[in-house]
Structure 1
Amino acid sequence: MKKLIVGITAEGSVNLLLGQMNYFHTAGYETFLMSPLSDRSAAFCKNEHCGHLIINIDREIAPVNDLKTLVQIIKIFKKVKPDIVNLGTPKVSLLGLLAAKILGVKKRIYTCRGFRFEHEKGFKRQILVAMEKITSSCAHEVICISPSVKALGLQHGIFSDKKAIVINKGSSNGVNLALFDPNDQKLLVEKNQIIETYNLKNKFVFGFVGRIVDRKGINELISVFTKFHKKYNDSVLMLVGPFEMDQIADKDLVKKIALNDHIINIGRVTQQEVPLYLSLSNVFVLPAWWEGFGNVLVQAAAMGIPTISTTGTGTCDAVSDGFNGFLVEPKSESQLYDAMEKLYLDKNLATQFGKNGLIWAQNFDREIIWNNLEKIYTS
């Protein structure tokens, strides 16, 4: 029985692995998640039938603690003796693949979910680029979760074209099309209840799902929507996701949102609840500066919802521009406004984009990702 270790830095990243560990457990692998201890990660391991290898790890650069974590991981690998390690998110990938190379693990894979250096400058940017180069040099293969991530990595000399792989059209774990089903009867009942609760009848809802941080384009979205509502007063903006204040420059943003009667702030929801809140949207908007891929854009497409995102890394691969949505330049408020207005005014176009989204989403069925991962593991 082959032993597979998948590693993440932050416990919230278990959402990027839902179903995957259970798939490989069923396929006959002995599976392990290497991550910090939390109720969320523990529940994930129980549900996915995988062992939990607990590590203490900092997301930010912390030389002393990072060295301690490296030693901790080496000890774990010596004990478990994995045949395959597949590590994603920057810090655990750097330290874990260093440990795996030191110990000569047979199959070392780096799942590159995007590059943090994209929105950094100066010396920190140089350090982050160097870290990515070290991580990739320790891996036998680098799975880039979107074509544009691969292109950016090649541009910066982080890995070679021969080493980098994109599975099908991208995504690290695909989309659970059974969960994101617009015809789910239970969902339709719950949807009507929420429409009543938030007085959404006869409203045009722009939806956003994600962490509420600057990089997701939240400031541009709030600014554009505020202007948009003055002209189209039946419009509503629904925000779904947690505020992460350490990644928000304007600390008054929460107050601005709270004081706007036409912005509904739902907060954090579980992955199982995401389809319900997506279903309330007439148009889904994610004006992120960049992503690794932009899974939620495909989830919205799977729900038959037209989407607006940006030409940034990762997001540009998650929407088929002009087919199921529009792509605008990152940080361009004028282009974002125009795209929102076009889908608001042209109901036929919005309906066609929604129908096309159902077709587009089929490219990202999670079974496609898992089947190809298994081929990589056995090659």
Structure 2
Amino acid sequence: MRITTIPLSLDKLLEGQMRFMSENGFEVYMVSENGNNVDKLVKREGCPHYVVPMTRTISPWRDFISLYKMIKLIKRIKPDIIHTHTAKAGIIGMLGALLTRTSIRMHTVAGLPLIEAKGMKKALLVFVEKLTYDCATFIYPNSFRLKDYLIKHGYTDEKKAKVIGRGSSNGINTDYFNLTDDLISKAAALRVEHGIGKTDLVFIFIGRVVRDKGINELISVFKTLTDKHSHIRLLLVGPFEDELNPVDKEVKKIIEKHSAVIHVGYKDDVRPYVAASDVLVFPSYREGFPNVPMQCACLNLPCIVTDINGCNEIIEDGINGLVIPSKDENSLRVAMERMITDEEFRLACSVVAREKITANYSRENIWEELLNEYRLLLGKKGKRQFINERIL
């Protein structure tokens, strides 16, 4: 049973993984909150989806109802493995799995929202996170730096924590993120559509347009740089999220009104926008093992990222991009200006960008590693015999 808080996580973060497990002998059930993309998800993955209402916000009464419904579902399906991903799904799924005595309880950690929290909220989030790990039999941080952080700060121990492969929750489809002639043509059309000149240099950001992604700093730095470099553009691909983690009001006004800032909102297919760009700038405060730098590097973009979990494993400073401190406007400005003025360096990063991703983070490698982990755990529990690599 694969559990995430919202179906978008199953759809985007774990795309293809459930079908792969089904094709290798597993009976897979997907569980999340309801959403518009569920029918498409079920058709693509070839697995049933069950709705358990969950919310990403702190809501004790609604969370209690979610737990009750999760327990009922687990008792009905009786899965051998419950594998959760994302924070709220983690506590609801792992607690439900423990209370129903499911023997293999796996939780993937892909970033820690509590890092940026403060006061009582942080104390509550730390308690919930530790409770999730206590309920789980195995913890899977999706980067080595994140694993080190969890162990160092006492969330879990070395015996319980493991990174699948070289990191990442799902790897990347390197064939899909490949610079084809068709993609180059679409990118050229996008540049014309948005008034981007042939000599303009485009920075791209992909993700939720929120404070914790470093958007306040990015907009401040970019606005200053446009005074000196009139040919630069900033392409923002992702939605505002005003409820949970909004950017400053003044920053939002600049995004909406500045002539050099192009905000296109959420896009199902980001590839044409990446191909229309020259540099990824990703000044996030916290991540697990982000897909965006992998996707952009796979399409030959040099990347500016912050020195945080995951990002500093994907990007090697001075080789396929630049790694800078988070929340540091001056370092961000220096890095962006270097990409603007040092074309030789920028192109050198571009040349090697794809190679590192294909060598370390292909989706098929991650899937095989996870499949082997499932088989290993089932074998230890004496629940399955393996014949011709099928689980019976």
TM-score by length of 1: 0.96
1:152 paired to 2:149? yes
Amino acid at match of 2:186: E
1:123 is aligned to 2:120? yes
Indicate conservation of the 8 Å contact 1:290/1:315, yes or no: no
- Deviation (angstroms), 1:168: 2.6
User: Match for residue 297 of structure 1?
Assistant: 293
Aligned-partner residue type, residue 261 of structure 2: I
Post-superposition CA distance 1:51-86 (Å, at most 9, x none): 111111121221222111111111101111111111
1:21 maps to 2:18: yes
Aligned mates of 2:277, 2:362 — CA distance in 1: 22
Deviation at 1:346, TM superposition (A): 1.4
Partner of 1:203: 200
| Counterpart position of 1:254 | 252
Distance 2:47 2:319 in 1: 39
1:225-270 deviations in whole A, cap 9, x for unaligned? 1111111111011111111012114134332112100111111100
Identity %: 34
Letter in 1 for 2:226: H
Q: Which runs of 4+ in 1 moved over 4 A?
A: none
**Is the 1:295–1:318 contact (alpha carbons within 8 Å) kept by the matching residues of 2?**
no
Q: What stretches of structure 2 of length at least 5 have no aligned partner? A: 377-392
1-structure distance, mates of 2:127, 2:152: 14
Q: Secondary structure at the match of 1:165?
A: coil
- 1:102 aligns to 2:99 (yes or no): yes
| 2:328 aligned partner | 332
1:55 is matched with 52
Question: Does the 8 Å CA contact 1:113/1:292 hold for their aligned counterparts?
Answer: yes
Contact 1:153–1:159 (CA<8 Å) still a contact in 2?
A: yes
Equivalence for 2:163 = 166
Residue in structure 1 matched with residue 350 of structure 2 by the alignment: 354
1:135 alignment counterpart? 132
The 2-side partners of 1:336 and 1:240 are apart by 19
Query: What secondary structure, in the 3-state scheme, does the structure 2 residue paired with 1:164 have?
Result: coil
Aligned partner of 1:44 in structure 2 is: 41
Deviation at 1:370, TM superposition (A): 0.6
- Paired residues of 1:8 and 1:88 also in contact (CA < 8 A): yes
Aligned match of 1:280 in 276, 279, 288?
276
CA distance in 2, matches of 1:335, 1:229: 17
* C-alpha distance after superposition, 1:72-119 (max 9, x if no partner): 111101111111111011111111111111222132100111111100
Instruction: Say which SS state the counterpart of residue 195 (structure 2) adopts.
Output: coil
Instruction: Work out the CA distance in 2 between the residues paired with 1:313 and 1:24.
Output: 28
Contact 1:108 1:140 in 2 (8 A): yes
TM-score, normalization by structure 2: 0.92
Superposed CA RMSD in Å reads: 1.2
Q: Pick from 306, 319, 336 the counterpart of residue 323 of structure 1.
A: 319
1:6 and 2:28 matched? no
> Letter of the aligned partner of 2:306 in structure 1?
T
For 1:189 and 1:289, locate their aligned partners in 2 and report how far apart those are by CA, in whole Å.
34
CA contact (8 A) 1:301 1:357 kept: yes
Could you say which residue in structure 1 is the equivalent of 2:236?
239
**Following the alignment from structure 1 to structure 2, what is the Cα–Cα distance between the partners of residues 191 and 352?**
21
**Equivalent residue for 1:35, pick from 32, 35, 39:** 32
- The residue type paired with residue 253 of structure 1 is V
CA distance in 2, matches of 1:107, 1:359: 36
